[in-house]
């Protein structure tokens, strides 16, 4: 019997999905500080090696060029700021930089993978992770109800290397919190799965729930399982109390539904008139939502303003290369908003390149619609759109750089988006048979 070693002799597409699926395990072991980076490096190296064996180089979509340029200018910014910043902040910034490098390698590997196998692995992984997250959420809230408030544990790796607890990054990433208590309407529980930040829990559920929905919309016979799984995922999302994640999910659903309809201009007009008629109630709802945690809002706005002031004074073109932190407990200046963060560390040049990258991904998704020729492809397209648009809304007040599993999930979606476009443009489609996806080339119709 031939032995297979995960990440080395198993299917690349399956490995990418399994790593995401096992997020709770990496959290418990403390391996989340390196497993996602290591996976991206291995699958990229394997993909590059296979391409060389086939007599060609690894393919890269042209719409990734701005992202590659961002990697270059971000590194330049770090380099020119090395003599000016504390060594600890330089190393922290290099760690953030590796999130983007991981993203590039992951997107390249996915773009060069087998499409049916890759999408099948991704939607299966998101399905499983939604179920585990939902069950863990219910279990965590049950513990909270019987008095286990602010329960936290150390993962295996931190027990073996206790000195890691002395570093803010490792402490926030590795510590195993389940719930924290918020004082909103009395005492209310707030989920904090897979990291010390509840907003990251909301962000992850925002990214993976649409792809879980995609699986069940294809496996139409599993209606009851779909209802339970979706309820668990939404339960975990809501109890993360991440306002931007909840609003992002809602906004993305409306936007994608309107765009996917045949008479979208008529539907959009009717939706606009309905929203106009309900504008008073919508405004009151938004105002209420923003005032839920006033102190948090004020703190974030102060961080944003301070970050903008600093980068304007020091180096608006290339940024200051690092995020500033004075002590262990202070929130980092230039954090809690992906776009502000990139402007802070890489300046106007870096932010422009990132926005161009985002815009090109949006154009990529829009362009794919005219190439969709079967219902399965349309379902995959809608799932990708829900994840992409919802996540970009969430990133207005959150970041890709805090936790590797967030960056991994986000760039997994980016890779799938480009892979999908690569095949549907040449007339290929997808079919659902025997409980899995199959690729239909143009000549198979």
11 sits in the region (left: phi over 0; alpha: psi -120 to 50; else beta) called beta
Gyration radius of the chain over CA positions = 22
pLDDT band at 270 (very low <50, low <70, confident <90, very high): very low
> Do the domain assignments include residue 29?
yes
Q: What are phi and psi of 152, to 5 degrees?
A: -145, 150
Which residues are 176's β-sheet partners? 153
Q: What are phi and psi of 133, to 5 degrees?
A: -65, -40
Residue with more model confidence, 283 or 7 = 7
pLDDT at 50: 79
Asked if 158 and 174 count as a contact pair (C-beta separation under 8 A), the reply is: yes
- What is the chain's mean pLDDT, rounded? 82
Asked if 243 and 300 count as a contact pair (C-beta separation under 8 A), the reply is: no
CA distance 233 to 246: 12
CA distance 37 to 306: 31
CA distance 58 to 246: 38
pLDDT at 303: 65
- Cα dihedral: 362, 366, 367, 373 (round 10): 140
Identify the domain containing residue 176 by its residue range: 12-36+59-444
The count of structural domains within the chain is 1
| DSSP string for 214-242 | HHHHHSTT-HHHHHHHHHHHHHHHHHTT-
> Do the domain assignments include residue 297?
yes
* Residue in 2, 32, 20 with CA at minimum distance from that of residue 118: 20
* Residue in 178, 195, 200, 184 with CA at minimum distance from that of residue 410: 200
> Do the domain assignments include residue 272?
yes
Per cent of the chain over pLDDT 90 is 43
pLDDT at 5: 64
CA distance 207 to 282: 25
Maximum average pLDDT range among 229-233, 245-249, 276-280, 318-322: 229-233
> Do the domain assignments include residue 399?
yes
pTM score, two decimals? 0.88
- What would the two tokens of residue 286 be? 């938004």
Determine whether 277 is exposed, middle or buried from the number of CB atoms within 10 Å of its CB (0-12, 13-18, 19+): exposed
> Do the domain assignments include residue 48?
no
Helical pair 404-424 and 375-394, crossing angle rounded to 10 deg: 140
Element (H, E) at 340: helix 338-368
Which single residue is written with the structure tokens 């940024």? 319
Q: Which residues contact 301 (CB under 8 A, 6 or more apart)?
A: none
Instruction: State yes or no: pLDDT of 213 exceeds 90.
Output: yes
Instruction: State yes or no: pLDDT of 38 exceeds 70.
Output: yes
For β-strands 187-191 and 179-183, DSSP reports them as: antiparallel
> Do the domain assignments include residue 43?
no
Q: How far is CA 122 from the centre of its chain?
A: 13
Q: How far is CA 118 from the centre of its chain?
A: 17
Asked if 382 and 390 count as a contact pair (C-beta separation under 8 A), the reply is: no
| DSSP string for 242-299 | -HHHHHHHHHHHHHHHHHHSTTHHHHHHHHHHHHHHTHHHHHHHHHHHHTTTHHHHHH
Which single residue is written with the structure tokens 């971000």? 74
Residue with more model confidence, 181 or 333 = 181
Q: What are phi and psi of 429, to 5 degrees?
A: -140, -170
> Do the domain assignments include residue 432?
yes
> Do the domain assignments include residue 211?
yes
Residue with more model confidence, 288 or 216 = 216
pLDDT at 223: 92
CB burial of 190-216 (b: ≥16 within 10 Å; e: otherwise) equals bbbbbbbbbbbbbbbbbbbbbbbbbbb
């Amino acid at each position: 019997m031939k032995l297979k070693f995960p990440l080395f002799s198993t299917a690349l597409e399956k490995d990418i999905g399994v790593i995401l699926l096992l997020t709770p395990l990496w959290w418990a072991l403390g391996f989340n500080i390196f497993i996602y980076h290591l996976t991206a490096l291995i699958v990229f190296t394997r993909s590059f090696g296979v391409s060389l064996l086939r007599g060609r180089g690894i393919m890269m979509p042209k719409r990734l060029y701005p992202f590659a340029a961002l990697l270059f200018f971000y590194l330049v910014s770090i380099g020119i700021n090395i003599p000016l910043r504390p060594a600890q902040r330089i190393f922290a910034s290099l760690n953030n930089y590796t999130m983007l490098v991981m993203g590039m390698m992951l997107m390249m590997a996915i773009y060069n993978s087998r499409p049916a196998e890759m999408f099948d692995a991704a939607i299966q992984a998101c399905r499983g992770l939604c179920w585990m997250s939902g069950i863990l959420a219910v279990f965590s809230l049950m513990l909270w109800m019987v008095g286990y408030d602010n329960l936290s544990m150390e993962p295996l790796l931190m027990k073996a290397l206790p000195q890691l607890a002395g570093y803010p990054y490792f402490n926030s990433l590795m510590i195993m919190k389940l719930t924290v208590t918020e004082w909103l309407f009395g005492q209310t529980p707030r989920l904090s799965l897979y990291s010390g930040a509840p907003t990251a829990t909301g962000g992850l559920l925002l990214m993976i729930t649409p792809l879980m929905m995609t699986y069940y919309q294809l496996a139409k016979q599993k209606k009851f399982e779909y209802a339970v799984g979706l309820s668990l995922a939404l339960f975990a999302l809501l109890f993360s109390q991440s306002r931007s994640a909840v609003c992002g999910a809602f906004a993305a659903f409306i936007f994608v539904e309107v765009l996917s309809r045949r008479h979208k201009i008529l539907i959009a007009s009717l939706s606009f008139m309905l929203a106009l008629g309900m504008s008073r109630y919508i405004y009151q709802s938004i105002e209420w939502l923003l005032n839920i945690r006033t102190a948090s809002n004020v703190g974030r706005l102060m961080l944003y303003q301070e970050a903008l002031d600093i980068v304007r004074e020091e180096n608006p073109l290339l940024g200051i290369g690092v995020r500033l932190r004075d002590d262990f407990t202070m929130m980092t200046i230039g954090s809690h908003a992906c776009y502000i963060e990139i402007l802070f560390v890489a300046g106007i040049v870096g932010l422009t390149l990132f926005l161009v990258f985002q815009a090109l991904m949006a154009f990529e998704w829009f362009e794919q619609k005219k190439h969709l020729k079967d219902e399965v492809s349309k379902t995959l397209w809608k799932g990708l759109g829900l994840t992409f648009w919802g996540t970009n809304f969430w990133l207005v007040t959150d970041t890709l750089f805090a936790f590797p599993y967030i960056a991994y999930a986000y760039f997994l979606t980016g890779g799938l988006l480009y892979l999908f476009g690569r095949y549907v443009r040449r007339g290929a489609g997808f079919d659902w048979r025997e409980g899995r996806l199959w690729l239909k080339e143009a000549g198979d119709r």
